[in-house]
Structure 1
Amino acid sequence: MTSSSAPDPSASESPDLSASESAVLEAVALGIPGALSDLGALVRIPGIAWPAFDQAQLERSADAVAELARGTGVFDEVRVLRAHVDDTDELGQPAVLATRAARGGKPTILLYAHHDVQPPGDDELWETPPFEPTVRDGRLYGRGAADDKAGVMAHIAALRAVREVLGDDLELGVALFVEGEEEYGSRSFARFLRDNAEALRADAIVVADSGNLDSETPGLTVSLRGNARFTLRIRTLQHASHSGMFGGAVPDAMMAAVTLLATLWDADGAVAVEGLSMREGETPAYSEATLRDETGLLPGVSPVGRGDILGRIWNRPSITITGIDATGVAQASNTLLPEVSVVISARVAPGQSAQDAYDAIERHLRDNTPFGAELTFTDVDLGDGFLVDTAGWAVGLTRGAMADGYGTAPVDLGVGGSIPFIADLVREFPAAQILVTGVEDPHSRAHSPDESLHLDTFRSAVRTEALLLTRLNARTAAS
C-alpha cells in the first residue's frame, strides 16, 4: 500500500488555534503515513462476525486493535472481552475495551468504532482484491477501509497525536470501545454495556460509524432512521402443480407475492403503508444529478418518492425487498410455486418506534393479502432511530473542531441508514451526549464491492478528533 501525496490542510491553520492545538495538528500530519499503514494492516485481516466465516480472523482483528490501543501510551488498561448474547449462554464476538481514568477533574469521553466487516461478496466484482488494501486516485480500497476500520484508526491516530503533544498534561478520561459484531447485529452489545457500565461511563460519546455530506464537508449526524426487518413467507399450495394444467385457475405463491408486495408503494414509489410516520426537517440542497452520481442510477430510471430528495432519505420511511427464496432462473420449470419467502427491510422515520412501524407493515400486509394466501412472519429484527439534542455543549465543541479540522463549516446530517445500538447507549448512559461522526463520503460504497476511503477525508477526520480531545482536556467535568 502506498500513501497519498495530496496536500495537507494544515498548511493554512486557523489563527484562533492555541499553541497546543497547532502542535497537535502538526503531530497529526506527521502521523498520518503511519496511521494509513496500520489501517492497511487491519484491512488485510478478514474479520467477519458471521458464523460461516473463519472466526479466528475476528480474534486476530481484535488482538491487532488491542495492540494499537496499547501502543498509544494513553490507557491504564486494555482488554479483549466478550459478553453473552442477551440472557443466553452464547458468547458474542471479541471487543476491545481500553480505559484511562480522568485526572484533575477533567471529563471522560468514550470513543466507539467496530473492527468487524461485511462479507466481501463476489471477488470478481472488485477491481482489486477486497482484503488487499490498494491506493488509487486518492482513495484506499478494501473491505473495511471505510466501514469501520478507518473509524478505529481515526481514534488511534488522534490519541497518538494528543498524547505526543500533551504528555503528562493529558488528564482527560478516555474509554475506547471497539466492537466485534456490529455488522452481525451487535447481538451482545446491550449486555456488554451492562457488564462494563462503570468502565464505559462518559460525559460524551463519539460514535465513529457514519459519514459526511461529501469528501470535503464534515457532517455531524443528528438523526438516524430506525429499522424493521423480517422474513415473510407467502404460501398458496400444499405442493407444486403443473402450470399448464392449472394455471389461470390456481394462484401460485409468486403471483400472490408480486400482487401483495406491490401494495407497499404507490405510483410514485413512495411508501403506501398507513401508520408509518414521517418527520419534518430542513435539509441541505441536493440535486437529482448528485443523487445519480452517488448511486449509479441508470439513465432513464427516475428517482422514487416525493418532496426534497434528502428529506425522502433522512426523514421518511422506505421499504426494500432485500432477499427472495424462489426457484432460480437456471432451474425454472413449468410449475406453480407453492411458497415464496422474501426479506423485507424497512427504514423507519426518526421519532417513530420500530415496533410501531413493524406493526403497521404487518397489518398492511395482512389486510391486503390476495387470494386468501397464507402469510407467516419470522426473524423480526427491530431497531429504533435516533434524534440528537443539538443544544448540548459537546455538540458545539464538536462543530468547532470540525470547522477547524476540515477547514469547512460542518452541516447537521440526517442519515437514511440505521445504527440501532445507539438506542442501547441512550438507555444505559442517559446523561451522556452522543456525537455521531464518521470518515465516509458518498462514494465510499460501504457494504458494496470496491469499498473505499477518501484519504483527505480521513486526514481531516483525524485532525477534527485530535482537536476535540485537546479542547475537552482543557475543560472540567463540571463545565
Structure 2
Amino acid sequence: MNEQNLPADDLERALRDRVELGMPATIARLSDLVRIPSVSWDAFDPAHVRASAEHVKQLLEDTGMFPKVEIHQHEDAEGRLGQPGLVAHRPAREGFPTVTLYAHHDVQPEGNPETWNTPPYEPTIIGDRLYGRGSSDDKAGVLSHIAALEALRDVLGEDFGLGINVFIEGEEENGSRSFAPFLAAHADELRADAIIVADSDNPDTETPGLTVALRGNTTFDITVRTLEHAWHSGMFGGAVPDAMLAMIRLLNSFWTEDGSVAVEGLITHSAEVEARSEDEFRKEAELLDGVQLISSGPVDARLWYQPSITVTGIDAPTVANASNTLSSEIKVHVSCRIAPGQDVDAAAEALERHVREHAPFGAHVEVSNLDKGNAFLVDVDGPAAQLMLASMRDAWETEPAKTGIGGSIPFIADFVREFPDAEILVTGIEDPQTMAHSPNESQHLGVLRRAILAEALFLARYQRGEAAR
C-alpha cells in the first residue's frame, strides 16, 4: 500500500506511534540545545547564539529532508547586524501546498542564578517537566517542528508532495530587529499557504490552544523636566514643582479609579470569552492577600481584548541615594498593550497626544525611543485554522480552546505584510506553569508530545488536501 494513501485512522495511529517512539531522542536533543546559553541581548556573547544556530542547522540537515540549510544574518533598519537565523526550503511538488514552520532558538538571560532551583543551562528532568532556560521558550518549538517533520517523513515516505519551509529566528527575545529584512531577503524561500508559529501557550497541560488574538504593543520613554538643576527641598519645596511630582501626576492620568486605561483614542476589541473564576485567576497570578484586580469585565477579556499600560522602569534617585532635593528630571519607560483591531500607529499617536495634553504644572515632557508592533486576529473559519483545530482535537483527545494572549508577537505583523495570502497559525508548547522568561523555566513533556503529534497530523492531512474539503 502507498503509505500516502493510508486510511485516516491508520495514518493517525502510525503518526501517534512514531511520535511516541521518537520522544526519548526529542528530549535528548532538546536538552543538548538548552545547554547552549544563546542569549541574543546586545550585552551577551554572540558566539553562543552562533553556536546555537549551528546546532539547529545540524538538526535540520540530519532530517535529510532539505536540499540545503543555511544560516543568515541581516542588518536592521539602523544598520545593526542581526543575530543568525536559519532557513531551510523543500519545494512542493506540483499541485501540493506549502507550509512554513517558525520558531526561535535564542533565549532570555537567566537572571540571578540563585533564584533557580536547578542550573539554568543544565537541563534537568523533575517529574514530567524538563527545566532549563529556553527549555520551552522556544527551543521546544524548534524541536516540535523537527520531531513532527521526522514523523511525517517516516510515515509517509521521503517523497511526499508537501512543500516545507523552516525559519528559525535568532533574535526574537531581542525584539526581532532584523526580522523584516530577513523575510524580505528570503521571501521566495519562505512563501507558503500556511505558516505555523510555534511560540505560544496552552490553557493547561491537558487542553490545547490555538492563539486567535494577540495584543499589539508600543513602548516609549517619557522624560519630565521642571528645573535647570536640583534644589534643596527645604528652600523651594512647596512652591516649586519638582519633576517627580509632575511625573507622578502625569502617570496617574493614564488610568481611571479602577485601573482601566483612560487614554482617549485607545479602543477595546469586542469578542466573547469563556467565564473564568476571579478567585482561580488570583491564585494563578499569585496576588498578595487583599490586593484587588483592576479594570472590569471577564478576566480573559481584560487580558486579551483591552488595552493596558504598565510603567516598567524609572530613572530616579534610589532610596539609598536619596537626598533632600527637588528632582529636576525624571525618566520612565512605558509599555502599552494595544487591543486587537487597533492600528498601532493610531494608538501611538493617541498615547503621545495624551502625554503632552496631561503634563501638569507646565512641565516640559519628551517622548522618545518609540517602538511599535501591531496586534493580530486569526480568521478561525479559514481552512488551515479549521484543520489545525481538528488535528489538535485528535492529538490531545479534547476540545481545543481558541485563546487570546495579553502579550504581543510583533513579528506576526511582518509575516502578514510579506505574505498576505497565507493563513497564520499560532500554536503553543507552553502551559501556565512554564515560567517562560522567569527563573525555573520548564517544558511539560506531555504537552510537548501532544504538540508534536498535532503538528504532524496537520502536516499529513494538509498535504492530502483535507484543508480544502
- TM class by shorter-chain length? over 0.9
Tell me whether 1:123 sits opposite 2:123 in the alignment: no
Per-residue CA deviation, residues 111-152 of structure 1 (Å, 9 max, x unaligned), is 000111111222222222222222223222221111111111
Q: Does structure 2 conserve the Cα–Cα contact (< 8 Å) formed by 1:73 and 1:163?
A: no
Q: Which amino acid aligns with 1:365?
A: V
Q: State which of 32, 43, 52 in structure 2 corresponds to 1:52.
A: 43
Tell me whether 1:34 sits opposite 2:21 in the alignment: no
What CA distance in whole angstroms lies between the structure 2 residues aligned with 1:468 and 1:476? 9
Q: Which amino acid aligns with 1:468?
A: F
Q: Does structure 2 conserve the Cα–Cα contact (< 8 Å) formed by 1:107 and 1:477?
A: no
Q: Does structure 2 conserve the Cα–Cα contact (< 8 Å) formed by 1:232 and 1:341?
A: yes
Matched residue, 2:158? 168
**Matched residue of 2:211: which SS?**
strand
Matched residue, 1:81? 72
Alignment of 1:10-409 (within 5 A): 17-86=8-77, 89-409=79-399
User: Which runs of 5 or more structure 2 residues have no equivalent in the other structure?
Assistant: 1-6
**Matched residue of 2:323: which SS?**
coil
Per-residue CA deviation, residues 209-243 of structure 1 (Å, 9 max, x unaligned), is 11111111111111110001001111111111112
Q: Which amino acid aligns with 1:113?
A: A
What CA distance in whole angstroms lies between the structure 2 residues aligned with 1:401 and 1:343? 42
User: Runs of at least 4 residues of structure 1 off by over 3 A?
Assistant: 476-479
Cα drift, residue 50 of structure 1: 1.3
Cα drift, residue 400 of structure 1: 0.6
Per-residue CA deviation, residues 231-269 of structure 1 (Å, 9 max, x unaligned), is 111111111111222221221111111111011111111
The percent of aligned pairs where both chains have the same amino acid is: 54
Matched residue, 1:427? 417
Name which of structure 1's ranges 344-353 and 154-163 shifts more when overlaid on structure 2. Answer: 154-163
What CA distance in whole angstroms lies between the structure 2 residues aligned with 1:137 and 1:258? 47
| Shift in alpha-carbon separation, 1:406–1:45, aligned structure 2, 3 A | same
Q: Does structure 2 conserve the Cα–Cα contact (< 8 Å) formed by 1:108 and 1:172?
A: yes
Q: Does structure 2 conserve the Cα–Cα contact (< 8 Å) formed by 1:82 and 1:95?
A: yes
What CA distance in whole angstroms lies between the structure 2 residues aligned with 1:448 and 1:119? 9
User: Which runs of 5 or more structure 1 residues have no equivalent in the other structure?
Assistant: 1-15
What CA distance in whole angstroms lies between the structure 2 residues aligned with 1:363 and 1:213? 37
What CA distance in whole angstroms lies between the structure 2 residues aligned with 1:477 and 1:465? 14
What CA distance in whole angstroms lies between the structure 2 residues aligned with 1:129 and 1:256? 44
What CA distance in whole angstroms lies between the structure 1 residues aligned with 2:42 and 2:20? 39
What CA distance in whole angstroms lies between the structure 2 residues aligned with 1:293 and 1:136? 23
**Matched residue of 2:436: which SS?**
coil
Alignment of 1:404-419 (within 5 A): 404-419=394-409
Q: Does structure 2 conserve the Cα–Cα contact (< 8 Å) formed by 1:106 and 1:476?
A: no
Cα drift, residue 17 of structure 1: 4.4
| Shift in alpha-carbon separation, 1:476–1:311, aligned structure 2, 3 A | closer
What CA distance in whole angstroms lies between the structure 2 residues aligned with 1:101 and 1:42? 27
What CA distance in whole angstroms lies between the structure 2 residues aligned with 1:162 and 1:290? 39
Q: Does structure 1 conserve the Cα–Cα contact (< 8 Å) formed by 2:91 and 2:163?
A: yes
What CA distance in whole angstroms lies between the structure 1 residues aligned with 2:157 and 2:103? 25
What CA distance in whole angstroms lies between the structure 2 residues aligned with 1:352 and 1:89? 29
Q: Which amino acid aligns with 1:407?
A: E
Per-residue CA deviation, residues 422-445 of structure 1 (Å, 9 max, x unaligned), is 111111111111101111111212
What CA distance in whole angstroms lies between the structure 2 residues aligned with 1:66 and 1:165? 23
What CA distance in whole angstroms lies between the structure 1 residues aligned with 2:158 and 2:198? 26
Q: Does structure 2 conserve the Cα–Cα contact (< 8 Å) formed by 1:323 and 1:344?
A: yes
What CA distance in whole angstroms lies between the structure 1 residues aligned with 2:309 and 2:296? 15
**Matched residue of 2:158: which SS?**
helix
**Matched residue of 2:270: which SS?**
coil
**Matched residue of 1:324: which SS?**
strand
Q: Which amino acid aligns with 2:395?
A: G
Q: Does structure 2 conserve the Cα–Cα contact (< 8 Å) formed by 1:105 and 1:477?
A: no
RMSD between aligned residues: 1.5
Q: Which amino acid aligns with 2:233?
A: S
What CA distance in whole angstroms lies between the structure 2 residues aligned with 1:90 and 1:263? 37
**Matched residue of 2:332: which SS?**
strand
Q: State which of 448, 452, 461 in structure 2 corresponds to 1:458.
A: 448
| Shift in alpha-carbon separation, 1:478–1:137, aligned structure 2, 3 A | closer
Count of equivalent residues: 463
What CA distance in whole angstroms lies between the structure 2 residues aligned with 1:106 and 1:18? 22
Q: Does structure 2 conserve the Cα–Cα contact (< 8 Å) formed by 1:234 and 1:341?
A: yes
What CA distance in whole angstroms lies between the structure 2 residues aligned with 1:120 and 1:355? 33
Q: Which amino acid aligns with 1:435?
A: L
**Matched residue of 1:344: which SS?**
strand
**Matched residue of 1:217: which SS?**
coil
Cα drift, residue 71 of structure 1: 1.2
Matched residue, 2:3? none
**Matched residue of 2:437: which SS?**
coil
Q: Which amino acid aligns with 1:70?
A: E
Cα drift, residue 19 of structure 1: 1.4
